A and B are shown apart, each in its own frame.
Chain A
Amino acid sequence: MAEIQIKNIAKSFGAFQALNDINLTIADQEFMVLLGASGCGKSTLLRIIAGLEVASSGEVWIGGKRIDHLSPKDRGIAMVFQNYAVFPHLTVFENIGFGLRMKKLPNDEVTRRVERVAGLMHIEMLLKRYSGELSGGQRQRVAVARALAMEPDVILMDEPLSNLDALLRMEMRAELKGVLAESKTTAIYVTHDQVEAMSMADRISVMHQGDIVQAASPIEVYRDPAAKFVASFIGNPPMNFLPAKPAGPSKWQVAGQTFDGPNTDKAVLQFAIRPEDMQPAEQGLVATAKIVEPLGAHLLVTCQIGDALFRVILDSDAVVKPGQSLTLAPQPDRVRWFDPDTTLAVA
């Protein structure tokens, strides 16, 4: 059992506050992705869990044991680094077996475990090579194999795929997900790539300026963003926003149209909808098409509603010309509302 509890973790570098009071519980065998733009504190949080960075305050517990005062080697973790950190002076075999040798395991046990994880990562034929003779993707596999060979309680990954080219990244993404699910370890995975996060995670923690804005399943983060930041960070293109004014109880007026909305006494709200949740219709928001981008699978149209730019994804058979007027109906159950003051979602 390796449940991870992060309690009130804060970290400052001089005057810069990298993390403010982070609280997060990661269940045993859960695949948690920390997602955020660079500088949001996600790597710092990971390094604090690993013991490579010391928190200014707070506690880290793994499997019911407080570990934040222990050195990295005593925490039951293994880590995969962004630049792989494969030791150049050792063969692939010795790299994977490095941690096992440090544990003073008998030779045949080391060989057994190295061969098992090498098989898992499909690098059996590289065991005698040195890191200088490997491609980036192969090095990456060695780094993951080395972490898996430790049979750790928790595996920590710091943007492990970001140095690979796009095609390889997609391939490794799926493979890594499978291997980790099979290994039954708890995993924390740091990335700035939302596609990676969505496709791999059991749960995503979206981080922004040293805070966790939302920690939820990928689909929940996508459908029900807890804050405007999440709505505009996740999704490509991101959510659309339009100002809304009250028009009676639970009624809101958006660009001349009236929608059912939350029952609050706010003077202004923001209406939000994903680009793919709009359809051309008889009645709806009236928009002027500005830019039309045929993307093959669908048609991306950037249009204008009032002062605001608004993106919609239409079927690739749709015929739209710049300057053309469109009437777009939002799918009612996909409309979300945000409070512009707190930037939080309003139900």
Chain B
Amino acid sequence: MTDAAVNDVSVDTRKSGRFLYGASVVFLCAWVIVPIYFLLINTLSSPETVNSFPKPFIPEFDFGSLQFFAGFSGMLTALKNSVIVALLTMIMSIIIGAPAGYALSRFDFPGKGLFRMLILLTRAFPLPLLALPLAVMFIQTGLDDTAFGLALVHTTLAIPFAVLITFSLFSGIPIELEEAAWTLGCTRLTAFTKVVLPLILPGITASAIFAFVISWNEVFAAAVLTIENRTLTAFLLQNLDTSPLHLKFAGGFILVVPALIFIFAVRKYLFAMWGIANR
């Protein structure tokens, strides 16, 4: 075989490789973006357009569907409940998760590896398995159908992430910074508040927002554990079979958008949790 032939072969492989790569990227992007785009079109169209066929590919910027959504009885209360539960989840998961993350990154204690495993293990149990016993227990303690009770469950779901994100953030802050602060007149506490906290605050915010999104998106526990005080997800699920198409689209849109925006805002820290450097 001549050199030219060898070169041709390798150029061909490289070309087809690049094509495959491009195609995969386009496919994966479409996989994520197309449904969200349809959601957007249908939300921003009048109810009539939503229910007709074929559908337009360009949104009409008609707020009829969203108005209908806002006017639907119980919808705004559900939205309010969602926000309350998500805020509670956010606060509790940081208050519990951040100190655990700090301890994991700064102290050596027996059972550290096991502790890390156990934190992850809370995600190993399927929620349906836990939801029913929890419902019984909540009814016994009077926590059922309260925002706080649901936030407790969501906190359990969010804590592993809160611990892991803050763990990686604290680990990213050299211990020497704290030690320097100690030699410069700080106690362990003031070194934390004056040096570590300012450095870690953006990351803590990210982890809090992630907890918010976890709670915001959660359906199952919300549907099982609340009746009167439904969150938006549970409320939409409840009315899924009876509500008109445009209401579903509007509800879906209202659910997806904050989650999307938040996750986009904190993506850097989520990558950090998985150990991918993104700088």
Residues on A lying within 8 angstroms of B by beta carbon are 50-52, 71-73, 77-79, 81-83, 85, 87-89, 98-99, 102-103, 146, 150, 156
Chain B residues with CB under 8 A of A146? 180, 184
Chain A residues near B190 (CB-CB < 8 A):
102
B187 x A71 contact (CB < 8 A): yes
B173's closest neighbor in chain A, by CB? A88
CB-nearest residue of chain B to A74 = B185
Question: Taking chain B's interface residues, is the majority helix, strand, or loop, or is none over half, making it mixed?
Answer: helix
The docked-state distance in angstroms from the alpha carbon of A72 to that of B176 is 13
Nearest residue (CB) in B for A102 is B185
Within 8 A of A (CB), among B125-183: 174, 176-177, 179-183
In the complex, chain B residues whose CB is within 8 Å of the CB of A77 = 183
B202-226 residues with Cβ-Cβ distance < 8 A to A are none
Chain A residues near B186 (CB-CB < 8 A): 73, 102
Taking the closest CB of chain A, its distance from the CB of B107, in whole angstroms, is: 14
Indicate whether B83 reaches chain A with its CB closer than 8 angstroms. Answer: no
A-B contact pairs, 13 of them (CB 8 A): A50-B179, A52-B182, A71-B182, A72-B183, A78-B183, A78-B184, A81-B176, A83-B174, A83-B176, A85-B174, A85-B179, A102-B184, A150-B184
**Distance between Cα atoms of A74 and B184 in the complex (Å):** 9
Contact B185 A99 (CB under 8 A): yes
Looking at B177, B179, B183, the one whose CB has the most chain A CB atoms below 10 A away is: B183
Bound CA span A71–B179, Å: 11
Q: A73–B183 contact, CB under 8 A?
A: yes
| Complex-state Cα separation, A87 to B205, whole angstroms | 21
Closest 9 CB pairs of A and B: A102-B185, A99-B184, A85-B180, A85-B176, A72-B182, A73-B185, A79-B183, A89-B198, A81-B176
Is B182 within 8 A of A85, CB to CB? no
Cβ of B103 within 8 Å of any chain A Cβ, yes or no, is no
How many angstroms between the C-alpha atoms of A115 and B98 in the bound complex? 38
Q: Measured between C-beta atoms, what is the minimum distance from A67 to chain B in Å?
A: 13
- B35 shortest CB reach to chain A, Å: 41
Whether B187 contacts A85 by the Cβ 8 Å rule is: no
CA distance A89 to B202 in the complex (A): 12
Interface centre among A99, A103, A146, A150 (most CB of B within 10 A): A99
CA distance in complex: A131, B47 (Å): 57
CA A52 – CA B181 in complex, angstroms?
11
Q: Which residues of B contact A82 (CB under 8 A)?
A: 176
- Would you call A81 and B180 a contact (CB within 8 A)? yes
Tell me the bound Cα distance from A83 to B176 in angstroms: 8
Q: Given A52-B179, A89-B199, decide whether A103 and B185 contact each other with a Cβ distance below 8 A.
A: yes
A150 — which chain B residues lie within 8 A by C-beta? 184
Q: Is B254 an interface residue (CB 8 A)?
A: no
Compute how far the CA of A59 lies from the CA of B94 in the bound complex, rounded to whole angstroms: 41
Q: A87-B177, A156-B183 are in contact. List 4 more A-B contacts (CB 8 A).
A: A52-B183, A73-B187, A77-B183, A85-B176
By a CB distance below 8 angstroms, the chain B residues around A98 are 181, 184, 194
Q: Contact between A79 and B179 (Cβ–Cβ < 8 Å)?
A: yes
B197's nearest neighbour on chain A, judged by CB, is A89
Establish whether residues B198 and A50, one from each chain, have CB atoms under 8 Å apart when the complex forms: no
Roughly how many angstroms separate A78 CA and B179 CA in the complex, as a whole number?
11
Q: Does B195 contact A (CB under 8 A)?
A: yes
Q: What residues of A have a CB within 8 angstroms of the CB of B198 in the complex? A: 89
Residues of B within 8 A of A73 (CB): 182-187
* In the complex, chain B residues whose CB is within 8 Å of the CB of A50: 179, 183
Instruction: Give chain B residues whose Cβ lies under 8 Å from the Cβ of A99.
Output: 184-185
Complex Cα–Cα for A128 and B110 (A): 45
